[in-house]
Structure 1
Amino acid sequence: MTEERKKEALLLAQEELFSYGLTTSMDAGSGVEDIQQMKDLYESGDLKIRLYVMVDSGPDAEAYYEKGPEVGLYDNRLTMNCIKFYTDGSLGARSAWMLEEYSDRAGHFGNSRHTYDEFYELIKAARDNGFQVATHAIGDAANKQVVDIYEKVLSENPLEDHRYRIEHFQVATLEDIQRIADLGIIPAMQSVHATSDKNMAEDRVGSERIKGAYAWRKVLNTGNIIVNGSDANVELVNPYHGLYAAVTRAGRDGEPVGGWYPEECMTREEALRSFTIWAAYGQFEDKIKGSLEEGKLADFVVIDRDYMTCPSSDIKDILPLTTVVGGEVVYTKDNSNVTVVFQGDKMVFDSAPVLENGTTYVLAKNLFVSLGVEFTYDEVNNKYYVNNGSSKIEIDAKDGVYVPLRAAAESLGYKINWYQSSMSVSIGK
């Protein structure tokens, strides 16, 4: 990819992030050349989002060890104060490093990236050069190695406020959940991972180890915090998916009803803090952002519903109306057409929905395909017939191609919620 294409991609990413109400993004690993491109775009005034960039380990980290951390560049918009490391792979690929063999693959323990001594030297170098550290660790063996070495490095050369991080902390022993709290280590746990992995995680680790997997309530009950995020592009960048997953522990399809291990849910306030003030704390930036307080940066989003009181099923469908960074409006939602949201995603229609006398009409074929139902059109009677399991539902059509959204969705067992401020409809169970 050319330098110009890379810069274009950065600006398109910024536009996407602003559309979700995101004012700061954590870049979980970039090199010197990529960081210079960011600097060029800040200097030109094109890049406005705030970035907390983790520097890749290896040669890029060595380059930063020579010059030291860069903090709060371009009016607190760009910081390189953290080095990113990896200790294992992923649970889905069975490359997460486990203390005991995988429950669904005998004799297999996953993959370790470093020996104990190798990883110790890496973390010690970052510590000696004044950098925060953040380490990708999924399996319980990987997490134990990270905690052991963080503890060793900090005991040798104590830091009063180190804010060392473990990225993901997906499967851990109950002992290590307590140890990270005692040591002041921050777990950065992306809540969407639990709902994405719920159909395979217990197969991988079994019924005992799952008790320490995606264990948000156990972590919070130790007095620790959780730094949340999307882990894009592994997951979608939409933060409301993460808030929804944290509160419900259900997939965007609402399954399982009641949530997957619901005793590990966060409260709505905890989930919100994990995306705001706790996330800022994990970047050493909680004194300047992460909450709406006098003297802090004017970074905020206006959303279309009350997150604290709306139906939990609708959290994933939240739409930003306005995004503000540093007092500047950087995004405003276009309300010229009705937006229809299903399972946290905007439905795509070949023609825009029509709002007529308080009724929203949408293209029938797009609606029914999105909902996954079979349908036929009776041109003589201007009706659609929809197969809903064992029954066939009859829906009057408008102009042969449109159907009334509420009537159609409710006849199929869905609930409809209208949000006037965003001119949007949430379809849910």
Structure 2
Amino acid sequence: MKKILTACLIFASALTLAAPSHISHVKGYTLNNSGELIRFTNMVFDGGKVIAIGGLELNERFPNATQIDGQNKVMLPGLIDAHGHVMGLGEGLLQVDLRESKSALEAVKMVQAYAKSQQGSPWIIGRGWNQVLWPGKAYPTASLLDEYVKNKPVMLSRVDGHASWVNSKALEIAGITKDTLDPPGGKIERNKLGVPTGILIDNAIDLLYKHLPKNSEANLSANLNAAGEQLLSEGITSVHDAGINKAEYDYFIKRVAEHTLPVRIYPMIAATSPVLLQLLKAGHVQDQYDWLSIRSVKAYGDGALGSRGAALLKPYSDDPDNSGLLVTREADLKPLFDLVLGNGFQLNFHAIGDRANRLILDQFDDSFSRIGGQSLRNRVEHAQIINVDDIPRFKTLNIIPAMQPTHATSDMNMAEDRLGADRLKGAYAWQTFLKQGSPVAFGSDFPVELSNPFFGLHAAVTRQDRNNSPDNGWIPSEAVTVKQAFRGFTLDAAYAAHQEKILGGLTVGKWADFILVDQDIFTISPQDIWKTQVLETWIAGEKRFTKAP
């Protein structure tokens, strides 16, 4: 104990000898730990942490500080995305992006052009297609892909990641034929003759994954660097990475040891990892500078609404023979919950449909009564479609809904078709959760959605897309205020990672993670929030991004 104390005193003395940094002439906003919005014009930081915020009086308190002129820019805390996929974002930036395709034909032409530029790649990988936005709204086919890329396997993930469109070469490599059975929690789309059409849903995608080229460290490096560059340019300083494998686990630890992580990362170990028990027994991983914190597990309840894989209590309104899929079997929930909670790890469960959400809440209730774990700040990831009777249970069980505002504005074009009007009463219910006192951690689910957090802030406040549609917002009663949305991307996101004392604001003692932006989100028209441009991004008092002039 004496040696530790002495080391702390030496470290403290070193900090007082070094000149702190004083940034002035800013229009600063932060939340304190009580959730009150505070304005300031000056901030002083030292050793990477905030030591004071206020006004001109800080000049007298810190006369020897290094001066930085904020040039009257708006300062906000670095934004936290509470649900993204870091390596998936990096992969998407380096693969063919089909998000803007207006039809299946346009998509395959984009794939063909990409394939010509990637002659040395054994596979053609892409992401982002959404048949709901195409004429006819029908799933695309392998035969269409075959016309443009025939001799090389192609795998194209749907925008939500819960379905893949493949060509015949990929089906052949995976051994998927008319005689292949649907795996539990998955579906192989077939024509009337039972022949696979080229669409694999949820766990059926695993039949293909094992044949993909293995991720090398070079690929991991390229993906992480590409993702980091993108996130910093958008003002994101911390990400909750929703489901990592062992290779990513090891690679993040390697990069944090080298002090080269581009942003702070709060990874969730994938519950499907073959070495889950080993990683749980290894205990929590915590970097002393808070760049990396591994203390949670991501598990998977059901699929997505767009691909009709979300598990519903009653059949889909537009598919009366289908109630969705459970990706994790109901019988496997109890042992999984007991294993994760019993080892002191936060459990974050993907649940989109109302059946999946009810099953997860029931299992949390059961496991808490037997083994505890209620204080771990467990989460439901997405919490999109919930029976109204189940919403209060989130508060009772201390379950945090981790939600993504742009999912609502992306799904509004098909959600009522899938669910009918009655089930929308518990859908994307951000304001209802906040009114009952549940903290709501906001994110984007990138690369399913675009990673820009200002798109999420805009969607949360307006319930509109970026074309200001619909006029008054979709289900406007569930819209949130700018302050509430800001809290979801800062303080509540930090709370959902056990980090509210060190991140999520610019109050004394927290890391000096901040951004300078070109407009005041608290005073402009809410419809313009999405247009906000990040000018600078700082982490721990060091500038990590500057927007090119």
| TM-score bucket (shorter structure) | 0.7 to 0.9
Shift of 1:231: 0.2
Q: Which of 455, 459, 476 pairs up with 1:241?
A: 455
Instruction: Assess, with a 3 A threshold, how the Cα gap between structure 1 residues 98 and 160 changes in structure 2: closer, same or farther.
Output: closer
Residue 254 of structure 2 is aligned to residue 40 of structure 1: yes
Give the structure 2 partner of residue 67 of structure 1: 282
If the length of structure 1 is used for normalisation, what is the TM-score?
0.76
Paired position in structure 1 for 2:481? 267
User: d(CA) in 2 for partners of 1:45 and 1:114?
Assistant: 36
Structure 2 letter corresponding to 1:132: Q
Deviation (angstroms), 1:103 = 0.7
Per-residue Cα deviation, 1:212-264 (whole angstroms, up to 9, x for no partner): 01111111111111111010010000000000000000011111111111111
State the distance in 2 between where 1:234 and 1:48 align.
21
**Of 207-216 and 53-62, the range deviating more from structure 2:** 53-62
- Of 253, 257, 264 in structure 1, the residue corresponding to residue 471 of structure 2 is 257
**Cα RMSD, aligned residues only:** 1.2
Counterpart of 1:116 in structure 2 is 330
User: Alpha-carbon deviation of 1:115?
Assistant: 3.5
Q: How does 1:363-402 map to 2 (within 5 A)?
A: none
Counterpart check, 1:229 vs 2:407 = no
Q: Given the alignment, which residue of 195, 208, 214 partners 2:428?
A: 214
Kept in 2: contact 1:230–1:237 (CA 8 A): yes
Q: SS state of the match for residue 75, structure 1?
A: coil
One of 306, 311, 322 as aligned partner of 2:536 = 322
> Does residue 362 of structure 2 align to residue 173 of structure 1?
no
**1:311 CA drift (Å):** 1.3
8 Å CA contact 1:28–1:84 kept in 2: the answer is yes
Select 1:131's aligned residue among 326, 334, 345.
345
The one-letter amino acid paired with 1:202 is E
2:495 to 261, 281, 288: 281
Q: Deviations over 1:181-234 (max 9, x none)?
A: 111100011000000000100111111101101111111111111111010010
3-state secondary structure, aligned to 2:442: coil
Q: Secondary structure at the match of 1:302?
A: strand
Letter in 2 for 1:70: V
Partners of 2:253 and 2:326 in 1: CA distance: 35
Output one character per residue of 1:17-36: Cα deviation in whole Å (capped at 9) or x when no partner.
11011110111111121122
Q: Do 1:48 and 1:325's aligned partners in 2 also have CA atoms closer than 8 Å?
A: no
| CA drift at 1:9 | 1.7
SS in 1 for 2:251: helix
Q: Structure 1 CA distance, aligned partners of 2:256 and 2:296?
A: 20
Structure 1 segments unaligned to the other structure (5+ residues): 336-429
Helix, strand or coil at the partner of 2:512: coil
C-alpha contact 1:42 1:48 (8 A) present in aligned 2: no
Higher relative contact order (CA 8 A, sep 6+): 2
- 1:358 matched residue in structure 2: none
How far did residue 130 of structure 1 move?
1.0
Conserved? CA contact 2:229–2:262, under 8 Å = no
User: Is 1:157 aligned with 2:371?
Assistant: yes
Aligned counterparts of 2:251 and 2:321: Cα–Cα separation in 1: 45
Aligned pair partner of 2:362 in 141, 145, 148: 148
Give the Cα separation in 2 of the matches to 1:256 and 1:183. 35
Alpha-carbon distance, 1:304 to partner? 0.9
Give 1:6 shift: 1.7
> Is the Cα contact below 8 Å between 1:7 and 1:41 reproduced in 2?
no
CA distance in structure 1 between the partners assigned to 2:224 and 2:264 by the alignment: 12
SS of the residue 1:323 aligns to: strand
Aligned with 1:225: secondary structure?
coil
Which residue is equivalent to 1:185?
399
Q: CA 1:5–1:159 in 2, change beyond 3 Å: closer, same or farther?
A: closer
Distance of 1:114 and 1:161 partners within structure 2? 24
1:89 and 2:303 aligned: yes
Secondary structure of 1:219's counterpart equals: helix
Q: Which residue, 305, 316, 321 being the options, matches 1:102?
A: 316
Match for residue 355 of structure 1? none
Matched, 1:205 2:419: yes
Q: Distance in 2 between matches of 1:244 and 1:116?
A: 37
Q: Which amino acid aligns with 1:75?
A: Y
Checking the alignment, whether the CA contact within 8 Å between 2:374 and 2:398 is kept in structure 1 is no
Q: Which moved more, 1:178-187 or 1:31-40?
A: 31-40
Three-state SS of the structure 1 residue aligned to 2:375 is: coil
Matched position secondary structure for 2:497: coil
Q: Deviations over 1:279-308 (max 9, x none)?
A: 000000001110111011111111111111
| TM-score using structure 2 length | 0.60
d(CA) in 1 for partners of 2:372 and 2:276? 22
How many Å separate the matches in 2 of 1:64 and 1:102?
38
Give the deviation of 1:74 after TM superposition.
5.0
Distance 1:180 1:241 in 2: 26
1:40: how far off?
A: 2.1
Q: Is the Cα–Cα contact under 8 Å of residues 519 and 532 in structure 2 kept in the other structure?
A: yes
User: Which residue type is aligned with residue 60 of structure 1?
Assistant: V
**1:160 Cα offset (Å):** 5.5
Q: Are the counterparts in 2 of residues 31 and 60 from structure 1 also a CA contact under 8 Å?
A: no
Q: Secondary structure at the match of 2:236?
A: coil
Corresponding residue SS for 1:194 = helix
